A and B are shown apart, each in its own frame.
Chain A
Amino acid sequence: SAVISQKPSRDICQRGTSLTIQCQVDSQVTMMFWYRQQPGQSLTLIATANQGSEATYESGFVIDKFPISRPNLTFSTLTVSNMSPEDSSIYLCSVEDRAGGSGNTIYFGEGSWLTVV
């Protein structure tokens, strides 16, 4: 499986500011995703990061709030804009591996723990 590195691993942010999370993969991957996991909740897909084009956002998530870049097949960024305490969450970068032939297996980075104060 791919090795996925995220940074920052954690941060405490002021309300109203923005933070960009970086995700680096050690191999070229077609599909990269960004998930959010709020405290005590399960994972929710924010968007699919598309290389060379705009990200595909899920219902409830918009580009103005969560702009995403995907300049190449090994790197992506997620920005959490104009943060409020409700954005306190773990944000997870993930990639898809279809090599196993068992469907859409997803591997995750270690996550970025954001606390907004």
Chain B
Amino acid sequence: RKEVEQDPGPFNVPEGATVAFNCTYSNSASQSFFWYRQDCRKEPKLLMSVYSSGNEDGRFTAQLNRASQYISLLIRDSKLSDSATYLCVVEDSSYKLIFGSGTRLLVRP
């Protein structure tokens, strides 16, 4: 079983739609969680950290469920510019970051 698992997609949605991605992790001792965004042929960039209480940044909402060991990312009112690959990242108990393989989002006009 992979340490961090994501649905690879692609998720193909119209502009304005709401879309949600889930990510599961295997190590219950994981401490910190993040979502990164990676555009085609670009480096990953931090989108947001994920806190136990959940957090929101504009159109983006991240949730953490420790009991079920999954993390979610919700994007509301999708824009064309949201098209990218979204990487789920988990910090393990030795402070090493483990990257998921990413979920690809395509927002169409």
Contacts and interface: CB of A to CB of B under 8 A. Distances in A.
A105 B46 contact: yes
Given A43-B99, A45-B96, A45-B97, A103 B49 contact: yes
B45 A104 contact: no
Contact of B41 (A103, A109, A113): A113
A53 B102 CA distance: 33
A42 B99 contact: yes
B43 A102 contact: no
Contacts of B44: 43, 92, 108
Contacts of A110: 42-43
A45 B45 CA distance: 16
B20 to A, nearest CB: 20
A104 B97 contact: yes
Interface residues of B, number: 21
Contact of A107 (B32, B46, B87, B89): B46
A33 to B, nearest CB: 9
30 contacts: A41-B101, A42-B87, A42-B99, A42-B100, A42-B102, A43-B87, A43-B99, A44-B99, A45-B96, A45-B97, A92-B43, A92-B44, A100-B49, A102-B32, A102-B49, A102-B51, A103-B32, A103-B49, A104-B91, A104-B95, A105-B34, A105-B46, A105-B49, A106-B89, A106-B97, A108-B43, A108-B45, A110-B43, A111-B42, A113-B41
Interface of A: 41-45, 92, 100, 102-111, 113
